[in-house]
Structure 1
Amino acid sequence: MQLIQTILIIPTYNAGELGRTCFKHILAQSVKPSVVVIDSGSTDDTVIWAKRSGFDVYSIDKQTFNHGGTRNQAVKFAGKSAEILIFMTQDAILADTNAIEKLLKPFEDKDVAAVCGRQLPHSNATPLAAHARLFNYPAKSSVKSQQDIAELGIKCAFMSNSFAAYRRSVFEELGGFPDNTILAEDMYLTAKMILAGYKVAYCAEACVYHSHNYTLTQEFKRYFDTGVFQSQNYWLRQKFGRLNGEGTRFVLSECKYLWNNKRLWLFRAVGMTFAKYFGFKLGFYYQYFPMSLNKKLSMHKTYWTKLNDK
């Protein structure tokens, strides 16, 4: 494969041992990207370890962090040399030494503007977290375009910046990520790419270990924020439609998985499903609630602080 100039960007905050492991696996890659760490005021040794790893480190105030704006800021810090922008999170561990090389492979198609890698559950993942990764990140690669919207709905724009790459020319053409979004900056930009006529790829061969063992409260708050995002970006539903039964398929798949593996977790799964549903519904109608309540219900509280300051 022709050598592609790449920059890898990682937002960090108190990354801890998992972050150090993330850094080590990046250094062991067959393809060596330049690495930019944008740190939101870590109080542990994250910055020290990043610098020891030879990464460029930029520090910002914790209260200024935003999923889209902070990543855009990191792209500006990174300069103009890279053809491909790779994004990871501090808790994603590259699964093998060729993961980044594999992630770049789909860009051989000049119409591909973004690539998402496969996420595997961490070794300590709960059955619910493990199933979520198996359901959302299948073992088969795919390429999506406008032609797939009718069949896939909003799933056509699925992307995750825990391990994803973007063609820089298209990234800049479309204005990058939204500067102020509560989450899902990756889906926002991917949707714009598809609507602009580009393709997006899912590369099942490029893997990271990444999962979250959310509590019932955390799951509620995460889906509250998802509802806020969907409400604020209603154009996504207008252009892509809804999930076309994806939620039902997920629940049925989860029940089957738990029945075959961890039956006692079925009771917890029921609670999680209701938490997600009500969290999303409340988030979708967030504008009818006072700012103070929205902040309490949200996982990303600094978003509301910044919103209130405007």
Structure 2
Amino acid sequence: MPQTNVSVIIPTLNAGTMIDDLLTSLEHQRRVPDEIIVVDSSSDDDTRDLVRRHPEVRLIVIDRKDFNHGGTRDMALRESSGDFVLFLTQDALPESDQYIDAVLAPFKQERVALVYGRQIPRADARPAETLVREFTYGPSSFTITPQDVRRLGINAFRASDVCAAYRRTAYLEVGGFENPVLTNEDMFIAARLLHAGWHVVYEAQAAVIHSHNFTWRQQYKRNYLQGVEMEKHRDILGSAPITGEGFAMVGHTMKGLLAQGRIIDMGSFFIDCVFRYVGNRKGKIDAKRAARRA
């Protein structure tokens, strides 16, 4: 791949406990980014002060009410200059100093438009969360092509802006992220790219440390928003159901917890899955009702 410019974009909100470590990690990558942009949603902690300790980092401050997952990222990308634009969330820490090298490597193939990386659970991740991450982000890399969409259905569009990189020309060709969008902007643009003939790569060597210990209420809200947006974007995603993949993940996690003798965790994870399912279903139902009233 010829010499190119690389931009990194990080949306933040009250990231004071983690942003300094993330920026330091990026500044010590073997392939140092040419540009780092932090888009802060008017944090009320010391996030902006910590960012300003890194003089090479560009800070853009927006009103909190103006943030949305697609529109804010799209604005930042269009403000950037990189031929390849990398997105990270504030709580995703590159596992090594070779993260940027690894996430860029698949772009040597000229039809690759999007590369997303592996998420390795934090040391404090609950046992179920660790198993879910291991199921979703395994150790083997793979490429999704347009020909794979019919076979894989909605699973072909799995991608995550927790740690992802985009070829600028491909991104602009398909119009960029949905705006506004509450969540899953990464899935929707992956679908658009594949429909346009581009390829999407999961690169397991591009790893970050990232996981969540969500409460049941947080899982419900998260999956409610996913249900809303996925219903609104059926024209992009097609009619393939997501339940098959969900059942496979549940089976993998339950078996892992049983093998570890974690019976209480099995019960807790079952309830967690109920909140996920109910939230997703309620989101879809509400989105359908809203569409009928429109």
Tell me the TM-score normalised to structure 2 length. 0.94
Number of the residue aligned with 2:102: 102
Q: Percent identity?
A: 33
Report the CA distance shift for 1:244/1:150 in structure 2 as closer, same or farther (over 3 A). farther
Q: Which runs of 5+ in 2 are unaligned?
A: none
Q: State the Cα deviation string for residues 117-156 of structure 1 (Å, max 9, x = none).
A: 1000011111122112101101000000111112221110
CA RMSD of superposed structures (Å): 1.5
**Partner in structure 2 of residue 77 of structure 1:** 79
Aligned to 1:299: none
Letter in 2 for 1:49: L
Report Cα offsets for 1:240-280 as digits up to 9, x if no partner. Answer: 62237211111110101111223320010110111111111
Q: CA deviation at 1:43?
A: 1.3
Paired residue total:
287
Offset of residue 289 of structure 1? 7.0
- The 1:67/1:99 distance shift into structure 2, 3 A limit, reads same
Q: Which residue of 2 aligns with 1:7?
A: 7
CA distance in 2, matches of 1:220, 1:244: 16
Q: Which residue of 2 aligns with 1:202?
A: 202
Whole-Å Cα distance in 2 between the matches of residues 288 and 151 of structure 1? 27
The 5 Å alignment of 1:43-54 reads 43-53=44-54, 54=56
Whether the 8 Å CA contact 2:192–2:236 is kept in 1: the answer is no
Give the aligned residue type for 1:254.
Answer: T
1:277 aligns with 2:277: yes
**Cross-structure match for 2:138:** 138
What is residue 258 of structure 2 aligned with on the other side? Answer: 259
- Partner SS state of residue 17, structure 2: helix
Q: Which residue type is aligned with residue 71 of structure 2?
A: G
How far 1:162 moved relative to its partner? 0.7
Q: TM-score, normalised by structure 1?
A: 0.89
* Corresponding letter in the other structure for 2:156: C
Structure 1 residues 145, 88: closer, same or farther in 2, change over 3 A? Answer: same
Residue 212 of structure 1 aligns to a residue whose secondary structure is coil
Is 1:146–1:197's contact at 8 Å kept on the other side of the alignment? yes
Tell me whether 1:152 sits opposite 2:148 in the alignment.
no
Instruction: Kindly report which structure 2 residues correspond to 1:51-130, keeping only aligned pairs within 5 A, or say none.
Output: 51-53=52-54, 54-78=56-80, 81-130=81-130
Q: Which runs of 5+ in 1 are unaligned?
A: 291-310
CA contact 1:145–1:199 (8 Å) conserved in 2: yes
Q: Secondary structure at the match of 2:201?
A: strand
Secondary structure of 2:205's aligned partner: strand
- Counterpart of 1:248? 247
